């Protein structure tokens, strides 16, 4: 579980995060949603420890990250898996080498054990025959799956995904969403996903935090988001024609 308390982050005069308090639960897919410029990416980078923050705290299973020693921070980072928006695969390595990379850095496994582990996770993300390909030879959907495989290969406790569906067709996007949700349940990890894709919200939003202008405007789940009266949220959710029509149909039924 990740607990965030009163998180503030500024860049010069610009106050980006203005006191966010929330929790991300273990074994669930937690979504951070909001419009562009609402502070989602800054929030995610604070959670990952890539940005320092001025006030507040972030605790990973009770341990406040900023108060840990450098060695403990390093140990903690070995428990974090991250799927970047553009996949961020190392383009000088094959897909198999990309997946084996965290094992090489953080474990003392033999080469054959690493290969075995990489093989297992590549099979898990439905890429059983892609080992020797270079990332540039893989499609966008494949690259995302490799990024997920790399993120989970070292059995992390926390999985972060920055817009995992961006640039993917709707069908592949659903496959990726489902894969993340299945892995979250299977590995019992705390997953935090940064998204503005309403399809993802509908599919996997077990816990949703809605950000607006650096503040938490709403918190709930995929079951409650369509029932909320919060105008900021409804304005965001029903900005799509499709969802607006679905809502009108639902209201008519009622």
Partner 1 sequence: MQYLHNIGVYFLMTFEMFRKQTKWSVMKQLILKDVDDLIIGSLGIVSFIAFFVGGVVTIQTALNIDNPLIPKYLVGFATRQSIVLEFAPTFMSIIMAGKVGSFITSSIGTMRVTEQIDALEVMGINSLNYLVFPKFVALTLYPFIISIAMFLGIMGGLAACVFGGYASLDDYILGIQTDFTPFHITYAFIKTLLFAFILATVPSYHGFYMKGGALEVGKASTTSFVWTSVIIILLNYILTQLLLS
Q: Residues in the site for partner 1, rule: CB under 8 A?
A: 48-50, 70, 73-74, 76-78, 80, 82, 84-86, 88-92, 102, 104-106, 160
Q: Which is nearer to partner 1, 133 or 247 (CB)?
A: 133
Closest contact distance (angstroms) between CB of 164 and partner 1 is 13
Residue 100 exposed, middle or buried by CB count within 10 Å (0-12, 13-18, 19+): buried
Query: CA nearest 233: which of 215, 254, 206?
Result: 215
Helices vs strands, H then E, count in the chain: 9, 10
Half-sphere exposure of 83 toward its Cβ, with a 13 Å CA cutoff?
A: 32
Closest contact distance (angstroms) between CB of 82 and partner 1 is 5
Closest contact distance (angstroms) between CB of 49 and partner 1 is 8
Reading phi first (left if > 0) and then psi (alpha if -120 to 50, else beta), residue 212 is in beta
Q: Which is nearer to partner 1, 142 or 208 (CB)?
A: 142
The CA-CA-CA angle for residues 200, 168, 40, to 5°, reads 50
Structure tokens at 188: 């019992």
Closest contact distance (angstroms) between CB of 37 and partner 1 is 18
Q: Which is nearer to partner 1, 70 or 253 (CB)?
A: 70
Q: Which is nearer to partner 1, 19 or 49 (CB)?
A: 49
Q: Which is nearer to partner 1, 84 or 187 (CB)?
A: 84
Closest contact distance (angstroms) between CB of 194 and partner 1 is 13
């Amino acid at each position: 579980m990740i607990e965030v308390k009163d998180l503030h982050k500024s860049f010069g005069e610009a106050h980006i995060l203005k006191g966010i308090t929330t929790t991300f639960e273990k074994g669930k897919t937690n979504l951070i949603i909001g419009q562009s410029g609402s502070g989602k990416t800054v929030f995610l980078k604070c959670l990952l420890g890539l940005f320092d923050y001025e006030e507040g705290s972030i605790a990973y299973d009770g341990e406040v990250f900023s108060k840990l020693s450098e060695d403990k921070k390093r140990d903690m980072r070995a428990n974090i898996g991250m799927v970047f928006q553009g996949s961020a695969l190392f383009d000088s390595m094959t897909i198999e080498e990309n997946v084996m990379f965290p094992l090489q850095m953080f474990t003392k496994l033999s080469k054959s054990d690493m290969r075995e582990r990489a093989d297992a996770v590549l099979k898990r993300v439905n890429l059983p025959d892609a080992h020797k390909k270079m990332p540039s030879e893989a499609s966008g959907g494949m690259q995302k799956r490799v990024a997920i495989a790399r993120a989970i290969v070292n059995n992390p406790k926390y999985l972060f995904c920055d817009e995992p569906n961006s640039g993917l067709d709707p069908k592949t996007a659903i496959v990726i969403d489902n894969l993340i949700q299945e892995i979250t349940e299977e590995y019992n990890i705390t997953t935090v996903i940064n998204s503005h894709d309403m399809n993802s919200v509908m599919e996997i939003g077990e816990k949703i935090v809605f950000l607006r202008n650096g503040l938490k405007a709403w918190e709930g789940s995929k079951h409650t988001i369509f029932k909320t009266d919060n105008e900021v949220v409804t304005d965001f959710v029903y900005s799509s024609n499709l969802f607006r029509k679905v809502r009108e149909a639902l209201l008519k039924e009622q």
